[in-house]
Amino acid sequence: MLDPSKLETVLRRGGDVADLVTRYRVANEHRKELQGKLDELRARRNDANKKMASLDKKSDEFAAARDELRTLSQEIKQGEHEHSTLEAESTDILLHIPNAPHESVVDGTSEADNPVVKTWGEKPTFDFEPKNHWDVGEALGILDFESAAKISGARFCVLRKDGAQLNRALINFMLDLHRERGYEEIWPPALLRRESLIGTGQLPKFEDDAFKTISEQHELFLSPTAEVALCNLHREEILPADALPKRYVAYAPCFRAEAGSYGRDTRGLIRQHQFDKVELVKLTTPETSYDEHEALRADAENVLEQLGLHYRTVNLCTGDISFASTKTYDLEVWLPGQDAYREISSCSNCEDFQARRAKIRYRPEAGAKAQAVHTLNGSGVAIGRTIVAILEQYQRQDGTVEIPEKLRPYMGGRASLD
């Protein structure tokens, strides 16, 4: 939840944010005015109680004081009801206001305004016309969109034979790599409570993008990303300072309705309802969060560099950063079959935005007041999009695909998909 002191800064995002900020300020100002009136009425009620205690219960003065007390109590009851309504309204509006961008985030309206901060490797060159990954994968018999559509509908894929093994190899490779770099591995649940999604900012604003299952006992959501479960490991906790930073890595299947992406990326693995991802999450102190952010980015970049995949890193502008983020780096891998860079990992610092919603705090020292931690998350990285990048960057003219050297131990020592 946005710290109200950052309302001016969040206006840099543009869009409908200004309207939300105005609505919040009006509702919150009304709430504060009513709070002042309630404090005054309660003081008058206390005075009336004291006055009655000193009066003869049979006197006219006592009866008048009793009538005044009844009137005051009724006004207070009505005022408290109105105050609760205004407080809920203010909170609901605040839950729909995104995080404020960091000062290092440039102003902009779309991905076209994102500055490139790093480029690694060279674009692969071919002496033939490179194909899209779906053509490569279908020809190899490892991507089966037709069967997936029969089973589940559009935006699903069945991975067959080497495709299934490649998916599993990438998961194990990434988990091993991140464990070596100091992350604790977690296997989280795939079904999440509403409170967990509110805590990380997916709800209430993005409920249309969530898959939900309802039983007689439970309302549960399919996990859109392991970030939700990893952050909520410490919901409503106060951590000691020496327990920070927390660094977690998890593989998890992810599920998204993609409600706002109708007509986009209808072919291939880029935008699926179900996909696999290895996720990185950190909880740390405000003083160290930006150093941890740079390290998080380096950990995600290391995956692509180990696999020899050409990519670039961009610093997202104010119009492109996600709802909960204050600063985000996107890693964009080169896809020669599409002649374009596509996002394969987002590494975000959310500062205290999620921690305030989920009530994750730490105590800087014994006896000190608890304060919100900073949370960070990043894909380490998206499995399906890595398969896309391998099929397109490592394709050969004869239709086979070279397996990156670092993956070969996970693929039975094989050097190619054929």
31, 155, 256, 357: which one is catalytic? Answer: 256
**Catalytic residue status for 271:** yes
227, 301, 332, 343: which one is catalytic? Answer: 343
196, 223, 289, 346: which one is catalytic? Answer: 346
**Catalytic residue status for 343:** yes
66, 193, 271, 363: which one is catalytic? Answer: 271
**Catalytic residue status for 414:** no
292, 345, 385, 392: which one is catalytic? Answer: 385
**Catalytic residue status for 40:** no
**Catalytic residue status for 42:** no
SS (H, E, C) the chain: CCCHHHHHHHHHHCCCHHHHHHHHHHHHHHHHHHHHHHHHHHHHHHHHHHHHHCCCCCCHHHHHHHHHHHHHHHHHHHHHHHHHHHHHHHHHHHHCCCCCCCCCCCCCCCHHHCCEEEEECCCCCCCCCCCCHHHHHHHHCCEEHHHHHHHCCCCCCEECCHHHHHHHHHHHHHHHHHHHCCCEEECCCCEECHHHHHHHCCCCCCHHHCCEEECCCCEEEECCCHHHHHHHCCCCCEEEHHHCCEEEEEEEEEECCCCCCCCCCCCCCCCCCEEEEEEEEEEECCCCHHHHHHHHHHHHHHHHHHCCCCEEEEECCCCCCCCCCCEEEEEEEEECCCCEEEEEEEEEECCCHHHHHHCCEEECCCCCCCEECEEEEEEEEEHHHHHHHHHHHCECCCCCEECCHHHHHHHCCCCEEC
**Active-site residues: which are they?**
256, 271, 343, 346, 385
